[in-house]
Structure 1
Amino acid sequence: MIRKMKKIYTVMVVLAVFLSAGCKKYLDVNTDPATPQTPENRTLTPPLFAQMERGIQFDARYLGGVIQYFGGAVNVGESHGWIPGSDAMGEIWRTNYYGLGANLNLIIDDSQVKQEYNFIGLAQALKAWSWQTTTDYHGDIILKQAYEPNRFVFDYDKQEDVYAEVVRLANESIANFSRTDGTGSVAKMSAADLVYAGDNAKWIKFNYGILARNASNLVNKANYNPAKVIEYVDKALSSNADNFIVPNTGSTSANGNFFGPLRANLASYRQTRMIVGLLDGTYFTGTTGAVIDPRISTMITPSADNVYRGTIPGSSDPGTAALKNQIPNPWGVLASANPGAGFGKYLFKDNVGFPIMTYSEMQFIKAEAAFRKGDLSIAYTAYLNGITSSIDFVSTLGTAITTTQKNTYMASAAVKQSASALTLRDIMLQKYLALYGYGFVETWCDLRKYNYNTGDVKGNNPYAGVFVFPNSFYADNGGKPAQRYRPRYNSEYLWNVAALKVIGADQPDYHTYKMWFSQP
């Protein structure tokens, strides 16, 4: 960030010299009336959606190992480690400050002049989402000074301040999408809005989904308000038709899904024992194969002998390299093979869209809040909605799941059959499963607010006996799991070291410091 600002300053100085020397004729090339000099909201908006998925998917290569969505002894993410002197794990940072950042400010400035309040609302919604995602991933970040001109060093702000800013932005976005004055219209926005085609109502729901995530992460805080969480969810996504999904064309590596075979990023990754155990009934019934989830054949792949296997991240489990090669990668093929363009499966295909938020996630957030509130009836209904909507969503990404298969599973021992039998463990494990392949940051928030397999401040421990730490943690961890990722190396550790020292980010175990939201 700072290096870029220095470059901008240098360009400005050079420009001033040219102007003072009377070299206007050399600069006239930049004032072509046929080429707009001020970017407009319509041209700035479409690329922003690709930036959203890029940030999550790039960093999922490492975070996927931490949360055990991915395994295979691929990288230090599986041992909860970090890579010194590298921008690895810094793509969400880059997305927030570079990919979205100033572009959103330009959209707001342009739209205010034109009184196109729906574009302002869109920019504010993406800002709210980006601040929430970035702080949930990094913890303390640069907020107040982020876009101040002529600044070369930046102070970090506390996570609680970022959480408050998310609430402010989301509410302002809702207000702007609710306005009926000005010149904004669905027709003006629809072509630029690749997700909701200018539908104000869906953008308002997306904002309430952001607010629901924000409030749901505070279960360890004295001001946690489950009723408010439920209120937000009830105003958020109301069906799979409201899912926020970034589209991918998938005809080339340039426009293909980062997780697809064309991009060739997931060859060495393996499906995990935790995902297998949730889909084959082990963690819901205690018996492997007792209940087979109808989502299993779309989401993961059996070995050549038709047995579903998975690794424990951070090890080559289940043993030798030969056994590891019997475990398929996310594309559904063995031994790091690439199935080729157009193949793959589930969310790991070239042309499949990438979910940023889904109705299923919202329903599990509601179920958790209602359960903690003591309203088991509401919790149970939301829990069932979360499962059924996840099945319906998965059904669109592979072989269609029949009504009979769905009903059989919903009546099985893997699904609680009454509100009185429901536990927080049932809710959180089904949510973990439903978010597989896309909800990386949200799943990590859940794991950290329940302290992985230790429990929250009230002793709730939904992941006990299911989430297993790697054989050993990264050397710098001191035996502790990862709680955050460090600020991006190329902007912060090269140019902003003094500010990093204030928050302790110069320490080798900084990535194990607990988040504000996960502490009492």
Structure 2
Amino acid sequence: MKKHLFLLLTALGFGLSSCNEYLDINADPSFPQVSDGNALLPPIIANMARGEAWDTRYVGKYAQYFASSASGDTWDRHGYIFGSGDLGGEKWSTHYWRIGRNIDLMIEDGEKTQRYDLVGIAKAIRAWSWQSSTDLYGEMILKQAWDSERYQFDFDPQEDVYKEVVRLSEEALADLARTDGKEPSAATRPGDLAYKGDKTKWVKFIYSVLARNMLHQSNKATFNADKVIEYCDKSLASNADNFNVTHRASSSNDANFFGPRRGNVNTFRPTTFIIGLLDGTLSNGVLDPRLPLMFSPSPDGVYRGVTPTLGDPNNVTGNTKRIPFLFGYSPATTPTAGTGKFLFKDDAIHPIVTYAEIQFMKAEAAFRKGDRATALDAYRKGIQANIEWTNSVDVTVAPIPAAEITKYMSSKAVIQTPDALTIRDIMLQKYIALFMHGSLETWVDLRRFQYDPAIYTGYFIPTGTGLFPDNQGKLVQRMRPRYNSEFIWNRVPLANIGATLPEYHTKELWFSTK
């Protein structure tokens, strides 16, 4: 965030995020310093996935998609490692630096060349980044962001950031609707790794951001269920509209963050909660056909998960009850590049938003307004879409047969009538659908519902000595701003919002308070 920090990062090679003064001092006519907007898009889109994936290592433990194989893990205990460099701060770094000023450069280039599709895409990504970042950290540096004349930066309320998301989204929609530009939308195809310059899909993506923005306000007087439904109806219409970030996996640099080549999740194991939702324990005894595609059983053939804070009691070489890695290996086997399964393959996609999530958002909004018929329809479409998507993720695994899908959709695990539908049914199926790639969004849901065990039945709530001591008896609510920038260079403004207190990570966010 700091002026001198911008200079350092530029010197290290990320020059497109530098401040104006540095560019002016080092101007060289033979070396252009402002890139074409298309050239900026690939690293921006890649960093959308990178930032989410990096912090999923910690948020995923709060969401209890996975837990440590060892007992007493800080994050499993709803704790936070203070002064830990960038642990939990990657989204902060991504928003202000890795994406950061590159968005301004895209907008400047698009306006100069009258390529308004680039302008709209840039604003759409920044709106998404504000939304997904504030939902992690709460207060953000909004009004003074990227001000190269400042050495300290004040934090703005989360409510203001939410309004900025709407403002940018509306501007992005207007830019994408313009027809007076000189460049066709096809000009963005070389750099648009997600939608290949298809403006209609970017419009749908923007409406997914607006849908999240409004749904997240479910505890506020500003919540409008009809608006959520409207945004969802204008958003992703099928899995073909999913925002997927792909990985070539030619090296660890362009490999999936969760794949064996990078080894970022080697110490993680699936939890009893996510396994229980799939093996019938928490789903009326019905085996979910997605289970074998998403996970692998222990050597004895039984699917197992760990209880957060307790670790894997069978984590002993040769024990047939030992829980496999997330990417499907026995802990006795060293994972190798080019292997793995589901979202844990080196070349697997990283979805930013999916059609299934859109349908579950619509289902919740319709349920809240009392329209059970619409809620049931969206709920069932969300399940069906996620099953079809799960079938497509790993082409090396035999897909779920159509007959099994039909059987599951008509089983006791899936609600069949509007009157029988509950908010718990919607949220637990959404929880399954967002496994791993949607950890940040699932954590938003858990906090919106105050970790309610009546809804998230099976979620393990740490208590007593199992809860991190700094929490003072409270559950985790937020990440802290990035240590290596804010706590080093911006400490006074941090203290003004209470971020230097040891229990700050338990301070509830604006969106979740009632």
Q: Same fold (TM over 0.5)?
A: yes
Q: Note the C-alpha offset of 1:509.
A: 0.2
Amino acid at match of 2:220: K
Aligned counterpart in structure 2 of residue 490 of structure 1, from 484, 493, 496: 484
CA distance in 2, matches of 1:496, 1:177: 37
Aligned to 1:504: 498
**Cα–Cα, structure 1 residues 113 and 470, in superposed 2: closer, same or farther, change >3 Å?**
same
Q: Is the 8 A contact 2:36 2:106 kept in 1?
A: yes
Q: Which moved more, 1:156-165 or 1:4-13?
A: 4-13
Aligned position for 2:250: 251
| Residue in 1 that maps onto 2:433 | 434
Q: Deviations over 1:350-383 (max 9, x none)?
A: 0011000000000000000000110000000000
* Residues 10-25 of structure 1 mapped to structure 2, 5 A cutoff: none
Q: 2:2 maps to what in 1?
A: 2
Structure 2: 5+ residue runs without aligned partners? 12-17
Q: Which residue of 2 aligns with 1:304?
A: 299
The verdict on how the C-alpha distance between 1:10 and 1:396 changes in structure 2, with shifts beyond 3 A counting, is closer
Shift of 1:470: 3.1
Q: CA deviation at 1:397?
A: 2.1
Quote the offset at 1:73 in angstroms: 4.5
Query: Quick check: 1:380–1:422 contact (8 Å CA) kept in 2?
Result: yes
Is the Cα–Cα contact under 8 Å of residues 214 and 224 in structure 2 kept in the other structure?
Answer: yes
Q: 1:325 to 1:154 in 2, by over 3 A?
A: farther
Question: Aligned equivalents of 2:431 and 2:381: distance in 1?
Answer: 15
Question: 1:462 corresponds to which residue?
Answer: 455
CA distance in 1, matches of 2:121, 2:388: 28
Distance 1:422 1:251, change over 3 A: same
What is residue 393 of structure 2 aligned with on the other side?
397
Q: 2:513 and 2:10 mapped to 1: Cα distance? A: 44
Distance 1:336 1:102, change over 3 A: farther
Residues 330-349 of structure 1 mapped to structure 2, 5 A cutoff: 330-335=326-331, 337-349=333-345
Q: For residue 92 of structure 1, what is the amino acid of its counterpart? A: K
Contact 2:220 2:513 in 1 (8 A): yes
Segment drifting more, 332-341 vs 295-304: 332-341
Shift of 1:223: 2.2
In 1: Cα distance, 2:219 partner to 2:506 partner: 18
1:202 aligns with 201
Matched-pair contact (CA < 8 Å) for 2:312–2:323: no
Alignment of 1:50-69 (within 5 A): 50-69=46-65
**Deviation digits for residues 448-484 of structure 1, max 9, x if unmatched?**
0000026xxxxxx411x32112351112111211100
Task: Tell me whether 431-440 or 83-92 shows the greater mean CA deviation.
Answer: 83-92
Q: Which residue in the other structure is 1:388 paired with?
A: 384
Aligned 8 A contact 2:314 2:321 in 1: no
Q: Distance in 2 between matches of 1:132 and 1:507?
A: 25
> Residue by residue, what CA displacement relative to the aligned partner does 1:236-272 show, whole Å, maximum 9, x if unpaired?
0000000000010012111110100110111111011
Tell me, in whole angstroms, the C-alpha distance in 2 between the residues paired with 1:10 and 1:327.
44
8 Å CA contact retained: 1:3, 1:491 = no
Give RMSD over aligned pairs.
2.2
Alignment deviations for residues 275-300 of structure 1 (CA, whole Å, 9 cap, x no partner)? 11111122121xxxx31111111111
Structure 2 distance, partners of 1:266, 1:477, is 26
Secondary structure, counterpart of 2:68 in structure 1: coil
Question: Residue 136 of structure 2 aligns with which residue?
Answer: 137
Q: What residue in structure 1 maps to residue 15 of structure 2?
A: none
1:281-292 matched pairs, under 5 angstroms: 281-285=280-284, 290-292=285-287
Residue number in structure 1 paired with 2:77: 79
* Contact 2:127–2:169 (CA under 8 A) maintained in structure 1: yes
Q: Which residue of 2 aligns with 1:378?
A: 374
Post-superposition Cα deviations, 1:413-439, rounded to whole Å, max 9, x if no partner, equal 101111111111000000000000100
Aligned to 1:458: none
* Separation in 2, partners of 1:418, 1:119: 45
CA distance in 1, matches of 2:406, 2:275: 21
2 CA distance for matches of 1:4 and 1:442? 34
Matched residues in 2 for 1:69 and 1:10: separation?
Answer: 37
Q: What secondary structure sits across from 2:76 in the alignment?
A: helix
CA contact (8 A) 2:299 2:321 kept: no
- Equivalent pairs counted in the alignment come to 497
1:216 aligns with 2:222: no
2:50, 2:3 → 1: CA distance? 22
Provide the C-alpha distance between the structure 1 equivalents of 2:479 and 2:215, rounded to a whole number of angstroms: 21
Mapping 1:321-360, distance limit 5 Å: 326-335=322-331, 337-360=333-356
SS at match of 1:372: helix
Deviation at 1:4, TM superposition (A): 3.6
Kindly report which structure 2 residues correspond to 1:127-206, keeping only aligned pairs within 5 A, or say none.
Answer: 127-206=126-205
What secondary structure is seen at the aligned counterpart in 2 of 1:309? coil
| Conservation of the 8 A alpha-carbon contact between 2:3 and 2:148 | no
Deviation at 1:3, TM superposition (A): 5.8
Query: Could you tell me which amino acid in structure 2 is paired with residue 99 of structure 1?
Result: R
1:101 is displaced (CA, Å) by 0.8
Q: Indicate the residue corresponding to 1:293 in structure 2.
A: 288
Q: 1:224 to 1:405 in 2, by over 3 A?
A: same
SS in 1 for 2:426: helix
Q: Does the 8 Å CA contact 1:65/1:71 hold for their aligned counterparts?
A: yes
Assess, with a 3 A threshold, how the Cα gap between structure 1 residues 176 and 10 changes in structure 2: closer, same or farther: closer
Shift of 1:320: 6.3
* C-alpha displacement of 1:503: 0.6
The superposition leaves residues 151-202 of structure 1 with CA deviations (integer Å, 9 ceiling, x where unpaired) of 1100000000000000111111111111111123222101110010000000
More divergent stretch after superposition (356-365 vs 223-232) = 223-232
Residues in 1 aligned to 2:438 and 2:247: alpha-carbon distance in whole angstroms: 17
Larger radius of gyration: 1
Identical positions, percent: 46
- Whether the aligned pair in 2 keeps the contact of 1:387 and 1:430 (CA below 8 Å) is yes
The one-letter amino acid of 2:380's match is L
Cα pair 1:325 1:336 within 8 Å, conserved: no
